[in-house]
Structure 1
Amino acid sequence: MGDRLWERVAGAAAAAGELVLPSRCAACHRPGPPLCRACTATLRTASQGWPALVTLDPSPLGMPACWAAAPFDGPLRLAVTAYKDEERRDLRPALGQLLASALTTAFAADPTLRRHVARDGPVLLVPLPTARSARRRRGDDPVGDLARAGARGGPPGIHLAPALRHTRRVADQSRLDRSARAANLAGAIEVSRRWREVVRGATCLLVDDVVTTGATMAEAARALRTVGAEHVVAAAVAATPRRVTPALVARRAAD
């Protein structure tokens, strides 16, 4: 998957660059596509063995199995930050290709997902909710839009389900340590009323841009399970490198 994945990422970035001109690379700021070939090559080298299974130590209670496409480091860290906080929505195609690769790996590695699709059952693709204050500030939902882009390039049988909402205001997670993140999010996410019957008994695949401590994923998974989700796993564009081990897809698939 590796070389083909990065060819698709580079192609998506170049195509987006043709639509938004003049453009600069979000990582190195050279004129050109949203993610230039040099930065894409750097990401390819740093991502040997990815997509990968995220392992947290300590792992928050209820954290679902989660696959990430690449390490949250170097050019990708800059690109994800630019996408969310600097209105670089031209990066969505390239980031969407990375998310699609994590989704594909999750399906290959998780037997429950495979069995569910084999029975023609839909898998709900559930983006992590954007805080109301962030949505107002940004004017859109970058994680939800990224989930939609990933779904287009991901495996068949997934259906976008923006089922989660915040129950109260939460602080910006980027400024909080592990324990503060958990306290900030405790009980802060729920399944909106109109989605509860859909989620009950469903297989759900949570989606986020970056996994760090896992607090947000764990809280979102708790919310889905509370209303009766049958199986919950997760995928992300990136994860903090020290918290990841390579996904042994073939071995897990054989279990």
Structure 2
Amino acid sequence: MELLPALREAASALWPVECAGCGALDVAVCAACRALVLDAPVRERLDGLPLAAAAEYAGPVRALVAACKERGARAEARALGAGLAAAVAALPEAALVRVPASRAGMRRRGFDPVALVARAAGLRSIALRRAGRPDAAGAQKERSVAERERAAHGSLALPRRAARALAGASVVVVDDVVTSGATVREAVRALRAAGCLPVGIAAVARTPRRLADAWTNVSIAGVE
């Protein structure tokens, strides 16, 4: 029984581990950072739909998301997955449809972060697909709110087989981080166009907003 702690101590000396959220030693995700993902839920309404996020996208949570997205780290994915599962549980029961990674992100990383976190949470989900034009140049974080809305509109669609299976069904949109809301709004538009009934939005994290009303009241053509 004493062998395992000794092996862990030896491994930590050879390959030091730090918490991806706060830098605490000898653990990939510390208990305090896990608690942040589970104990600080964000609840609001976005274009009339309930949005539930596990935590605000700031501090250690932001660092955990970055580690998961860039390295595909399993410990971080499990921690974030627990938060995502809690967010999903706070919404009406429905089929889960996730926002896909951008084409550029998939080429660079080789995996889909939202799919990774959903699997780590034990959640079954269907992916929307990127539709129409290729991704516009530049990352979403580099765009203004209006530019994000324009870039997102018409960029997602539900695959035909999934559309047939989910026709008339209640669905929840799943994403990792909601910032301006442009991407999840586009997901809602695409699902409604496919004959589905969106009943909520679940996310790992929500960017803090001081003027929440200004964001929740923004809409784009085809969403409402």
Identify the TM-score tier after normalising by the shorter chain.
0.7 to 0.9
Aligned pair 1:32/2:26, yes or no?
Answer: yes
Q: Distance in 1 between matches of 2:158 and 2:193?
A: 9
Q: Unpaired runs of 5+ in structure 1?
A: 1-17, 108-112, 114-122, 153-158, 246-255
Structure with more helix by fraction: 1
Give the C-alpha shift of residue 24 in structure 1: 1.7
Structure 1 ranges of 4+ moved more than 6 A: none
Query: How far apart are the structure 1 equivalents of 2:69 and 2:207?
Result: 17
Whether 1:51 and 2:22 are equivalent positions in the alignment is no
Structure 2 gaps of 5+ residues are 1-11, 214-224
Counterpart amino acid of residue 105 in structure 1: A
Match of 1:35, SS state, is coil
Cα 1:186–1:231, aligned 2, differ >3 Å: closer, same or farther? closer
Q: What are the equivalent positions in structure 2 for 1:174-213 lying under 5 Å apart?
A: 174-213=141-180
Shift in alpha-carbon separation, 1:182–1:63, aligned structure 2, 3 A: farther
Deviation (angstroms), 1:147? 1.8
Which structure carries more relative contact order (alpha carbon 8 Å, separation 6+)?
1
The letter of the residue matching 2:197 is E
Identical positions, percent: 38
Counterpart CA distance in 2 for 1:85 and 1:54 is 28
Tell me what 1:236 maps to: 203
Asked whether the 8 Å contact 1:128–1:143 carries over to 2, the reply is: yes
Q: Matched residues in 2 for 1:219 and 1:168: separation?
A: 14
Query: Could you say if the C-alpha distance between residues 26 and 227 of structure 1 is closer, same or farther in structure 2, counting changes exceeding 3 Å?
Result: same
1:137 to 83, 102, 108: 108
| Bigger Rg over Cα | 2
With the length of structure 1 as denominator, give the TM-score of the two structures: 0.69
SS of the counterpart of 1:23?
coil
Q: 1:208 to 1:231 in 2, by over 3 A?
A: closer
- Shifted more, 210-219 versus 231-240: the winner is 231-240
What residue in structure 2 maps to residue 160 of structure 1?
A: 125
Residue of 71, 78, 100 corresponding to 2:63: 78
The 8 Å contact of residues 127 and 158 in structure 2, kept in 1 or not, is answered as no
